[in-house]
Structure 1
Amino acid sequence: MNNDRDALIAGLIAMAGFLKTHPQIPTSIAPVTIRAFPTRGSDDDMRAEVDRVAALLGTEIDSHHLPYDHYMTGIGFGPVRYEFIAILAAARARHAADDSYRGCVQIDSTQER
């Protein structure tokens, strides 16, 4: 096992135990999602890694995210979810294009409303 994985699992268990023994501590009703990603490579290599993880999980590829070039699978445990996602080259290119405008558009705050 790698230390990062062990630390994540230990932290999740510790937090769950803490919340269980301290019912006065508020918690969110929002879902908790842990996301993991394959090492960046070719789209085919990343899809193959997601397929491998999907087989380990016993899950399918989530077709709802395919139009956005996110090839992913996941499994839920009530409001807690694990997702394994390959962000394919086309999605990364769109994001880079959108992000290239960051800081270029300025709001005119001198006009009256």
Structure 2
Amino acid sequence: MENKSHALAAGLFVVFVSALLVALAVWLTRDTRQLRSYELAGQVNLSGLQPQANVRYQGVPVGKVTGIRLDPQTRGQVLVRIAVDELAPISATTFATLAYQGVTGLAFIQLDDSVPADGT
């Protein structure tokens, strides 16, 4: 009878530790930023771009790609939906390009502004 109680205690301990690890993983990977959605449209080749790819503003990570699809109303046009941090300085002059990361070649959306950094 004593062996069964030890086995039950060990089983409960394993279940408890597993639940703690899952809760810790969820807590560490949560994203609490307020995001604003934008939709990019264009007749471009998006090879290598995947949902959940990074969106960077002048090299700084500010969001993620949330969806990629073909435009049902315009032949050959691709629609890319991105979610960007509300604090990112997106303006009417901001434009997007497809960029690739160094050695890995992972594609991401690069946002830049056409206004020079010095404001002139």
TM-score (norm 1): 0.21
Higher strand share: 2
